[in-house]
Structure 1
Amino acid sequence: MLNINAGSLTSLPGGRSSRRTVLQAGGAGLLGLSLPRALAAEELASATGGRAKSVIFLFLFGGPSQLETFDMKPDAPDTIRGPFQPITSRTPGLRICEHLPKTANVSDRFCVIRTMSHTYNDHSGGGHYIQTGHRWDVPIGAGFNATPRDWPSIGSVVEYLGQQRSGGHAATLPSYMVVPNFLGRLQEYKVQLRRPGEYGGWLGRGVDPVTTAVDKRDAGDNPYWRDMTDEELTFQIQGLASGPGLTVERLRRQRSLLEAFDDARSRLGDSTTLDVYDRFQQRALDLVSSERTRTALDLQAEPAALRDRYGRHLFGQSTLMARRLIEAGVRFVTVHYDCVDGYSWDSHRNSSDVQKHLLPTMDQALSALLVDLEQRGLLDETLVVCMGEMGRTPKANASWGRNHWSTLFPAVLAGAGVRGGSVVGETDKDAAYAVTPPTSPEDLAATIYHAMGIDPELRLQEPEGRPVHIVDGGRPLLELFG
């Protein structure tokens, strides 16, 4: 812990402050050393990590079953082992579901963590936990939507640090984007859902992700797994009008109006909330009027054969979009494979959609992404994470539907120095519990930060002024890296 004595920092011999001391002092804002001036800590962290210039987070919301993906138990009792058969992969000892053949063929590029585990057995809370590394403060059943009190997502912390490096101004392209929609946008539910976990939370709206929007045809449509036309794959910036009337000149007029509003407001008195909102809107306008952004969001620039390889469904094209965005300079891109019909990966009823739609589309997109990144020389500097927020109960119903089971579920990590063809963790005979120490969301967050060269011990100030660690208690999984 940082020691303060008569206004001086505890130092190493020769007057050099330790790396941890600099981090903690910067995070606490001590002695005038604000966070922007402590960002050298991010450079120091790259000495032991930091190969990942960017992260692509494929979030399979709803909770894929461990028993139908990467932890198959063909010798388990009939009520547990599942309806699908295992196939061999390029990883010794790793048996993968028969409906993931393309993924099995590239398993030498990724590592499977079999022992992800937490105790928030709920979608919203689980999604918050996985994307932030912090447990949600809303009790199970007490809410579904994001709140301003939530912990900032990993992507929002990356965005925040990027803005601090540039003196508080967002770059032309953001550090953090979410595609194809904010989590919950297409879900059919009794209220409009904006699931927690992907936002700036108490860090403020200014570090929320820039999010695209892609609509479905009607209430019964699931675009995540059906082929879509180029006319449907709009990837418009969420919150800005679209259509033929949206021209660069019109956007410039909108910006001029926004600037005039800012001038008028400044004469009336400042408002932090309005200022943050204005900056967020300004950034969206800058993005959509930028030639660089329009180029990055133009999927039709990709060869047809490559688009076919990813799959013409929304998940496949969104995964390809993520590759285009990180290639353009975005540091953290989350791709949601969301529930639309109320179930999808949340497969309580049966395994039919899992077999026919979910596994094949995930198989197509994940395998294509890894090969594409490798061929472009980007895999060594891009961390790919693919997972859900929970697993499924070992015991299934008669039609092979399974309920929530956050006690055990898998995660796939690749790139940025992750040892391909490896498996971390052992599970029991029913894929119910970890036999080796479980891997927590805190561990996952610490690992992602470490891979990006951001020290997990960095501290930020909450609105009340209390310095808090970006990860509390997690450890980077160094054994993942070769």
Structure 2
Amino acid sequence: MSGIGPSLHPRFNRRSVLQAGSIGLMSLGMNHISALREASASPVLPEIKAKNVIYLFLSGGLGQHESFDMKPEAPADVRGEFRPIPTSVPGIDICEHLPLLAQRAKHWSLVRSLTHKYNEHSEGHVIMLTGRNTLPPTFNASKPMPGDWPSIVSVAGSLLPQSNNLPPAVVLPQKLIHSSGRVIPGQFAGVMGPRHDPWFIEASPFHPKTKGAYPVYEFNHQKGPMHTAGLKYQAPNLALSEEMTQPRLMKRMDLLKNIENQRRRWDQEASTRSFDRYRQGVISLLTDKKVHEVFDVTNADEKTLERYGRHSFGWSCLMARRLVEYGVNLVQVNLGGNESWDTHGNMFPHLKNQLFPPTDQAVSALLDDLSESGLLDETLVVMAGEFGRTPKISHLPQHYDLPGRDHWGACQSILLAGGGITGGTVVGASDKHGAYPVSDPQTPESFAATIYNALGLPPTAAWHDDADRPHHIYHADPIPGLLV
């Protein structure tokens, strides 16, 4: 497959123009219609095992020393300021500032030996969001490229059957965008083609300066706590506009039928059926109150908001739980956009006061909800970033008042819960400084395979390009030692 070069302009046939016009007739913005982009049917239609995945992605990179692989016996410039606390599972200690997760250790397991060779943000994003340990030939750190590897969400979304009026795989609450405004690569379908791009539920606004779980835990890496006016968490508005009454909608539908009849005379290809499904999906979303309730997380009941937190991390985890309950199989939740976890400086106060409290609260509430509803057994929750942090603490006084750690792809810890894995276990180990794996090293490929396996995708699963060539999705076995 070849992408359109930067100096060329896309060409549109009559069918595409009519489809675009039909969308406009229903008074739906293109930002909403793009969310309804449907993948072409794959030759592989696996038998789904009624399992789901929630991928909590920590853009910026969580330090293993400050979270799940603490080194209390290491020198001070390695171990840092935080101390370990025992969890509810004897022998497993984690950071003192994650007390709620520590109480729920029976639900989760750790992998302390995930490793890759990349230390730059865009590279790490591509590696961990696509599950490929090599960069694509067309990789460009400044922007996504048509030749990029497809994201895990794109692959799963193209192979999993749609069970309701929502796509089988979504990303929330925002695209990952650098403070400079460039879109970070690794999030899209790449070589699969833009029609397989994920549905981004863009509920969280982009702001170049702010980080973290606004409005309660908003901060800036240089300035500390912030309170930016105008930040509002708002899911897609799928309701009919005031002027679009039900009778007017029906009239528009009659007009759409006429346009569709014209288009059928021009083109009898299979894409006609695809357009039918687009239209049905739009109308279903407009009229389905359950979908509106799934998205309306900021108006949840008081008890629920108290548990998850009235902040962007809590609302995002709550939406993920509702989406899985509704039938969406894979939900990627970006816990903080704009590389929120990139703690080069002021690391200890920002983790302690701004990043860990909302994460500990929201993820613990998510695990509780899934467990109480019976969904945890069939839902794998994974939490990872694009890399870990350097073994030694460093200080960049020209940028930060206090020290932090730099990027480190060679070792990071990831958390996994539910989905049939054995809770309260640890896979792999790092050396005494948390720098490199010393046992059971795991790769981004084994990480991705664990997600695909939890979704019920078989080892033979593949997506097919426009020339009908298969591209197999498994490049390693799932992480061993996790399944019951």
Is 1:202 aligned with 2:204?
Answer: no
Is the alpha carbon distance of 1:311 and 1:150 closer, same or farther for their aligned partners in structure 2, counting shifts above 3 Å? Answer: same
Partner of 2:472: 469
**1: CA distance between counterparts of 2:245 and 2:472?**
43
Is 1:390 aligned with 2:381?
Answer: no
Question: Tell me, what secondary structure is at the counterpart of 1:327?
Answer: helix
Matched to 1:294, the amino acid is H
Is the alpha carbon distance of 1:401 and 1:327 closer, same or farther for their aligned partners in structure 2, counting shifts above 3 Å? Answer: same
**1: CA distance between counterparts of 2:404 and 2:279?**
43
- CA displacement at 1:292 relative to structure 2: 3.1
**1: CA distance between counterparts of 2:239 and 2:142?**
27
Q: Of 300, 303, 311, which residue of structure 2 is paired with 1:305? A: 303
Is the alpha carbon distance of 1:145 and 1:113 closer, same or farther for their aligned partners in structure 2, counting shifts above 3 Å? Answer: same
Q: Is the 8 A contact 1:205 1:276 kept in 2?
A: no
Note the 1:40-439 alignment, pairs <5 A.
42-43=46-47, 50=49, 53-134=51-132, 135-137=134-136, 142-163=140-161, 171-184=164-177, 187-189=178-180, 191-193=181-183, 195-216=184-205, 220-222=209-211, 224-227=213-216, 232-236=232-236, 283=281, 286-299=284-297, 302-340=300-338, 344-351=340-347, 352-398=349-395, 399-439=402-442
**1: CA distance between counterparts of 2:125 and 2:246?**
36
Question: Tell me, what secondary structure is at the counterpart of 1:456?
Answer: coil
Partner of 1:453: 456
Partner of 1:10: none
Matched to 2:394, the amino acid is N
Using the TM superposition, name which of 458-467 and 103-112 deviates more.
458-467
Using the TM superposition, name which of 172-181 and 320-329 deviates more.
172-181
Using the TM superposition, name which of 249-258 and 441-450 deviates more.
249-258
Matched to 1:137, the amino acid is P
5+ residue gaps in structure 1?
1-33
Is the alpha carbon distance of 1:440 and 1:218 closer, same or farther for their aligned partners in structure 2, counting shifts above 3 Å? Answer: closer
- CA displacement at 1:148 relative to structure 2: 2.5
Partner of 1:29: none
**2: CA distance between counterparts of 1:357 and 1:325?**
27
Runs of 4+ in 1 over 6 A off after TM superposition: 228-231, 240-282
Question: Tell me, what secondary structure is at the counterpart of 2:61?
Answer: coil
Question: Tell me, what secondary structure is at the counterpart of 1:107?
Answer: coil
Q: Is the 8 A contact 2:380 2:419 kept in 1?
A: yes
**2: CA distance between counterparts of 1:250 and 1:425?**
61
**2: CA distance between counterparts of 1:199 and 1:419?**
32
Is the alpha carbon distance of 1:202 and 1:281 closer, same or farther for their aligned partners in structure 2, counting shifts above 3 Å? Answer: farther
Q: TM-score under structure 2 normalisation?
A: 0.78
Identity of aligned residues (%): 38
**1: CA distance between counterparts of 2:243 and 2:231?**
16
- CA displacement at 1:106 relative to structure 2: 0.6
5+ residue gaps in structure 2?
1-39, 218-228, 396-401
**2: CA distance between counterparts of 1:406 and 1:277?**
43
Deviation sequence 1:291-314 (CA, Å, 0-9, x none): 332122122563212212111110
**2: CA distance between counterparts of 1:385 and 1:64?**
14
- CA displacement at 1:94 relative to structure 2: 1.9
Is the alpha carbon distance of 1:36 and 1:65 closer, same or farther for their aligned partners in structure 2, counting shifts above 3 Å? Answer: closer
Question: How big is the alpha-carbon RMSD for the aligned residues of Structure 1 and Structure 2?
Answer: 3.5
Is the alpha carbon distance of 1:149 and 1:217 closer, same or farther for their aligned partners in structure 2, counting shifts above 3 Å? Answer: closer
- CA displacement at 1:362 relative to structure 2: 1.0
- CA displacement at 1:337 relative to structure 2: 1.7
**1: CA distance between counterparts of 2:252 and 2:64?**
49
Number of matched residues? 426
Is the alpha carbon distance of 1:92 and 1:267 closer, same or farther for their aligned partners in structure 2, counting shifts above 3 Å? Answer: same
Partner of 2:17: none
Matched to 1:438, the amino acid is P
